[in-house]
Amino acid sequence: MGSSIKITLRKKANKQGHFPLAVRITKDRKTNYLYIGHYIDAKYWDKEKLEVRKSHPNSQRLNNLLVQKLAEANQTRIDLQTRKNDISSKQIKKEIANPLSKTSFKEIADQYLEGLEKTNKLQRLSSDKARIGHFIRFVNNEELSFQEIDETLLRRFSLYLKSTRNLSQRSVVNNLIVLRTLFNKAIRLGIVDQKQYPFGAHKISLKFPETKKVGLNIEEIQSLEALDDLSKQEFNARSIWLFSFYLAGMRVGDVLQIKWNNIYDGRLHYRMGKNNKRLSFKLPDKINGILKVYEKDKRFDDDFVFPEMKTANLKNPKDYFKKLKNGNRKVNKYLGKIAEKAGITKKLTMHIARHSFGNIAGDKIPIQMLQKLYRHSSVTTTINYQANFMHRDTDNALEKVINF
């Protein structure tokens, strides 16, 4: 059945005996009223013309307001019909009463990205901007509302990321997490109802797939250490990788930002970029050997140890982040060439420095100590991580059964 939207004077008087002006919205014989907040005496209402009589002192203003509300209601009906085949009078009323409900996904996404930029969360800005871009290109609709983002659309988006953009399942989940963050923001702002939340049990469930963590073994690391036919760039990349490995897989962003004044009393003192936690580690002799090579290029106490950040503009967060990002990319590029020279078939990147430490540590080191070395906040995280490299018990069990 069709729907109708009309201006009316409701027959429900207030204490003063005045009646409320309203927009009546009817759909499938169900009616809802949108009150405009004004009451008048019944004698001022023209039933034929559906307007306030000129004899009312504020007739022109009230009639202009009624026309405006009627136009808004009709436009909202058209918008809803465009987005959905089936709408109710309640939905039309809700969207008129709450102008925020018309706020598009892109508007909230832009606000979110702007917030990240203002707070200098540039790493997250870089990754989340790309993920939001994937979604905007997929829907091809900058006016898309949160009410249109449902399970069906998100499943289609996931398939698009896998089949068209060739992303891994982990990357797909990361894209959906950003959409979930924005949807939660929209709920808090009153833009969309909690009932329309497409994530959670029996809906879109976000769970990271198990990944295979591959690290180098002792022999492969020894072959890296022994290489002597290296270009200046390759030597630098190997030094950075080994620096990370010798400190239990220190994150590459933290390695590149190490300054000479972070090193004193035979220890490295620094703050983790991930959570700003302050840490201190005794420097192994192998790291001291690396530092001696770079000490000749030291310009001042506050200088960076490695060359990637030496030209960074410390007063410009964007330039600083760009140098950090490019430095990581450049190091990984030369690590690939080093792996070929060392005869290593595994993909050598900065990321697997930590995996390599875990692989060699196995179950030789108490889990609580590994938690400190890995800088994990929770021992559960360490247990789950190290489980990728602890195989001795299962290997021995197999041997006991099959060696007969």
Cα–Cα distances in angstroms (integers) from residue 242 to residues 236, 239, 306, in the given order: 10, 5, 13
* pTM: predicted TM-score of the whole model, two decimal places: 0.61
Q: Which residues make Cβ contacts (< 8 Å) with residue 394, sequence separation at least 6?
A: none
23, 81 contact by CB (below 8 A): no
Q: How many CB atoms lie within 10 A of CB 183?
A: 22
- pLDDT score, position 100: 53
Tokens of 17: 């005996």
Instruction: Summarize pLDDT for 270-294 with one digit per residue, the tens.
Output: 888 766 778 888 898 999 999 999 9
- Per-residue model confidence as pLDDT tens digits over 336-368: 999 999 999 999 999 888 888 877 776 666 666
Predicted confidence (pLDDT) at residue 174 exceeds the cutoff of 90: yes
Q: What is the pLDDT of residue 208?
A: 80
Is the pLDDT at 205 greater than 60? The verdict is yes
User: Please, which pLDDT band fits residue 295 given cuts at 50, 70 and 90?
Assistant: very high
Is pLDDT at 139 greater than 80 in this prediction? yes
Mean pLDDT over 35-50 rounds to: 89
Query: Average pLDDT for residues 377-399, to the nearest whole number?
Result: 59
- pLDDT tens profile 54-74: 999 999 999 998 888 888 778
pLDDT number for residue 373: 66
Least confident of 47-51, 78-82, 205-209, 225-229: 78-82
pLDDT reported for residue 371: 66
- Average pLDDT on 150-174 reads 94
- Relative to beta strand 263-264, strand 30-40 is unpaired
Question: What pLDDT score does 395 carry?
Answer: 55
Q: What is the 3-state secondary structure (H, E, C) of 35-71?
A: EEEEEECHHHEECCCCEECCCCCCHHHHHHHHHHHHH
| Of 106 and 103, more confident | 106
CA separation for the pair 100, 226 (Å, rounded): 64
- Assess contact for 286 and 327: CB atoms under 8 A: no
Domain boundaries, the chain: 3-97, 102-196, 218-361
User: What is the average per-residue pLDDT within 21-44?
Assistant: 85
Report the distance separating Cα 348 and Cα 334, nearest Å. 9
- Tokens 């026309």, residue located: 67
Closest-CA residue to 26 (of 15, 37, 34, 18): 34
Tell me phi and psi for residue 377, to 5 degrees: -75, -30
Cβ atoms 260, 299 nearer than 8 A: no
Q: Is the pLDDT of residue 168 over 70?
A: yes
User: CA-CA distance, 102 to 105, in Å (whole number)?
Assistant: 9
* Continuous segment of H or E residues that includes residue 26: strand 19-27
8 Å CB contact between 262 and 268: yes
| Lowest pLDDT segment from 65-74, 92-101, 318-327, 334-343 | 92-101
Fold held by 102-196: DNA polymerase; domain 1 (1.10.150)
Q: What separation in angstroms does the CA of 286 have from each of 209, 243, 244, 292, 308? A: 36, 8, 11, 10, 21
Looking at residue 73, its pLDDT comes to 77
The answer on pLDDT for 86 being more than 70 is no
Over 70: is that where the pLDDT of 401 sits? no
User: 403 pLDDT exceeds 60?
Assistant: no
CA 190, 194, 198: angle at the middle one, nearest 5?
125
Reported as a pLDDT band with limits 50, 70 and 90, residue 135 is very high
Q: Specify the pLDDT at position 209.
A: 76
Q: How many residues in the chain?
A: 404
Q: What integer pLDDT is reported at residue 68 of this predicted model?
A: 86
State the average pLDDT for the chain.
Answer: 85
Helix, strand, coil in percent for the chain, rounding step 5: 55, 10, 35
Q: Closest Cα to residue 362, out of 250, 209, 217, 245?
A: 217
Residue 312 φ then ψ, to 5°: -70, 140
- Burial (CB count <10 Å: 0-12, 13-18, 19+), residue 145: buried
pLDDT of 97 strictly over 60: no
pLDDT at position 331 over 60: yes
Please tell me the distance from the alpha carbon of residue 360 to that of residue 349, in angstroms, as a whole number: 17
Beta bridge partners of 20: 39
Query: What pLDDT was estimated at residue 80?
Result: 63
The answer on pLDDT for 177 being more than 90 is: yes
pLDDT at 267 over 70: yes
pLDDT exceeds 90 at position 89: no
Q: What is the pLDDT at residue 281?
A: 85
CA–CA separation, 102 and 40 (whole Å): 31
pLDDT-based confidence at residue 84 (cuts at 50, 70, 90):
low
Counting residues of the chain whose pLDDT is more than 90, the rounded percentage is 49
Q: Note the pLDDT of residue 33.
A: 82
Tell me the fold of 218-361: hpI Integrase; Chain A (1.10.443)
Query: In degrees rounded to 5, what are phi and psi of residue 271?
Result: -110, 135
